[in-house]
Amino acid sequence: MAIITYRQALHDTLRDEMLRDENVVLMGEEIGVFEGSYKITAGLLQEFGEKRVRDTPIAEEGFVGAAVGAAMLGLRPVVEIMTINFIMLAIDQIVNHAAKIHYMFGGQSRVPMVIRTPGGGGQQLAATHSQNPEVWFAHVPGLKVVAPSTPADARGLLKSAIRDDDPVIFLENLALYNTRGEVPEDGPDDVIPLGTADIKREGKDISIIAYSRMAAVAVNVAEQLANEYGIDAEVVDIRSLRPLDRTTIVNSVKKTNRAVVFEEDWRSYGVGAEVAATIQEYAFDYLDAPVRRIAAAEVALPYSKVMELSALPTAQHLVDAVRATLAASGGARRNGGIVIPGLAGVARG
């Protein structure tokens, strides 16, 4: 396996899919000559030409609508929205057209398109450029929504998204672009089906359920919990928000009997709420403690670095939540005995 960045994995996958299928075309603001705001499309205009790499005007509703039409006529557009904060300008095309056309035309027309867009906080980009509105799209039947946390997942899920016959919202977190990881070589083994979660770390004391950047944080926290407190946490990376792999989530909780949901989005009505409801519905009898949720403070994200950090969920919040959940449920069982981790402050949420 090669070790590459999340950014490189996205670039290489776009190129591979364009080589594989001449119907794959790219559209977006400054993706051609400028090579994209985050350089995901570097070199693709020179290799594939203007017919397949289209710079668009600053008109999100217009070029997303054009992509919907192109998809209906046989192309497989991959649209780049410069930042997810601008996706609101195209929400009518996404929710009222891309998501519903297959149904409204009695199954006679499909919309095989992907909308790629970065988001997330922690970059001091202030209130209107640091958002996580993934739940808006995960709420809509007809859309598929994925949020990979590793370069391998970014590659595998983007391949599946481009080959899928339905519209897919592909969410990238700005803080992940420079992270590195092993990525399989090109082939059938590096395609990850949409709707599949992944156990990033196996454990038996508690399930930490997360996605995107928070899944990466959770893996590090799980190692910290093991090293400092002897807590064996399992990390479930949802990675596909719709369809949601409820089976993997529920089976993990049935094994560990405790769960903490960890997300960067706001808490109310969010993805974490859906996960918590799923656990309550399908694994209630297995729980030794209430499901705890860790999310961002419900405020517009401040520009001030200190205030921004105080609003976002952190590794320490997760450590505290795991320890509090274990303490409330009698601690982690070991070889017939019991280990009771002490509380460390008040857990967020």
Which residues are tagged catalytic? 60, 129
pLDDT band (50, 70, 90) for residue 165: very high
Structure tokens at 35: 């090579």
| Cα–Cα distance measured from residue 339 to residue 52, given in angstroms and rounded to the nearest whole number | 59
Q: What per-residue string of b and e applies to 153-176 under the rule 16 or more CB within 10 Å gives b?
A: bbbbbbbbbbbbebbbbbbbbbbb
Residue 328 near residue 289, CB atoms below 8 Å: yes
C-alpha distances in Å from residue 18, one per residue of 26, 52, 76, 77, 96: 9, 9, 10, 10, 28
pLDDT band (50, 70, 90) for residue 335: low
Q: Please give the pLDDT value at position 128.
A: 85
Mean pLDDT of 177-205: 92
**Beta partners for residue 168, in sequence order:** 114, 144
pLDDT band (50, 70, 90) for residue 343: very low
Structure tokens at 200: 């990033």
Q: Give me the torsion for CA of 176, 179, 185, 191, rounded to 10°.
A: -20
- CA 4 to chain CA mean position, Å: 19
Mean pLDDT of 38-47: 97
Structure tokens at 341: 């981790």
Q: Is 70 exceeded by the pLDDT of residue 123? A: yes
Q: What pTM did the predictor assign?
A: 0.94
Q: Please give the pLDDT value at position 332.
A: 72
pLDDT band (50, 70, 90) for residue 340: low
Residue 258 near residue 326, CB atoms below 8 Å: yes
Q: Is 90 exceeded by the pLDDT of residue 341? A: no
C-alpha distances in Å from residue 11, one per residue of 4, 38, 127, 276: 11, 10, 28, 35
DSSP letters, 161-209, are: HHH-SS-EEEEEEGGGTT-EEEEPPSSGGG---TT--EEEE--SSEEEE
